[in-house]
Amino acid sequence: MKDSAHQGTGKKASPLKSLEADLELYHDPIKEVSDEMLDAMLTRYPIFVAHQHEVKLGEIILDHRELGTQWTIQAATLEEFIEKKVVLPERKDYFEKSYKDPRKYMCLFVIVPEGANFVFYPYKPGGNS
């Protein structure tokens, strides 16, 4: 694999490019876990934490060290995010209104050195449903 971290300008490539590549591989297992969480009524708001380090949120479902990829994915819930104050209780309603259909989009909490953000990434049409 080519190292595209430096492309003449001295700027590093966005880590989100490698996340997008890993999501191609991770798509089906994430969709499966999301559907299981919804069907078992564990939550109405599954959240998948994407990171490259150690994070104490959720449970590891895809470990980059075992898979030879760059990103680890951990399954969590909105309820855990509120409990751990990642989402403040007073922001819960706003989060729920902003949350996209979990059968069509994975909710990712992407952690990079510069910070963290929620991203809704569409599931591929015709994937597990």
> 3 falls in which pLDDT band (50, 70, 90)?
very low
The mean per-residue pLDDT over the stretch 80-104 comes to: 96
Radius of gyration of the chain, Cα coordinates, nearest whole angstrom:
15
Residues contacting residue 23 through CB under 8 Å, at least 6 positions apart: 30, 106, 121
> 102 falls in which pLDDT band (50, 70, 90)?
very high
Looking at residue 13, its pLDDT comes to 58
Looking at residue 12, its pLDDT comes to 53
The region of weakest confidence among 6-10, 74-78, 82-86, 101-105 is: 6-10
CA-CA-CA-CA torsion sign (75, 62, 60, 51)? negative
Phi and psi at residue 73, to the nearest 5°: -120, 130
pLDDT above 70 (res 92): yes
Predicted TM-score (pTM) of this structure: 0.85
Indicate the average pLDDT of the chain. Answer: 88
Q: What is the dihedral of CA 114, 122, 70, 38, to 10 degrees?
A: 100
Looking at residue 124, its pLDDT comes to 86
In this structure, are residues 96 and 35 in contact, taking their beta carbons and an 8 Å threshold? no
pLDDT-above-90 percentage for the chain: 76
In this structure, are residues 52 and 70 in contact, taking their beta carbons and an 8 Å threshold? yes
Query: In the chain, where are the structural domains located?
Result: 24-122
User: What three-state secondary structure class fits 60?
Assistant: strand
Provide the residue count of the chain.
129
pLDDT above 50 (res 98): yes
Query: What's the Cα-to-Cα distance from 32 to each of 29, 40, 49, 104, 126, rounded to whole Å?
Result: 5, 12, 15, 12, 13
The mean per-residue pLDDT over the stretch 62-78 comes to: 95
